[in-house]
Amino acid sequence: MVQVIVTTARELAKTEVTAVEKQLLKRYPAGVTLKFLVQPEVLGGIKLSMGDEEIDATVLASLSAVKQQLLKG
């Protein structure tokens, strides 16, 4: 079983929770344990934390990436 922390800006609807679980099971067929966190500061999108691995697809992460690019340029 893989424990996944799901972070979003708002509380997900049941259908969305199901969709998240379904997609994660495709990736981790052995099973997943989900823990949901609501952090409005991420603005939108989703962040998945699985142990050392992290997939950050939030609006805040995108903005941070844009900001880093602007600062570099």
Binding site residues, other proteins, CB under 8 A: 8-10, 12-13, 16, 19-20, 23-24, 26-27, 40, 43-46, 48, 55, 57, 59-60, 63, 66-67, 70-71
The two beta strands, 45-50 and 53-58, are antiparallel
Q: Work out how close the CB of 3 gets to other proteins at its nearest, in angstroms, rounded to a whole number.
A: 16
Q: Work out how close the CB of 49 gets to other proteins at its nearest, in angstroms, rounded to a whole number.
A: 13
Q: Work out how close the CB of 10 gets to other proteins at its nearest, in angstroms, rounded to a whole number.
A: 6
Return d(Cα 30, Cα 67) in angstroms, integer. Answer: 38
C-beta of residue 55 within 8 angstroms of C-beta of residue 6: no
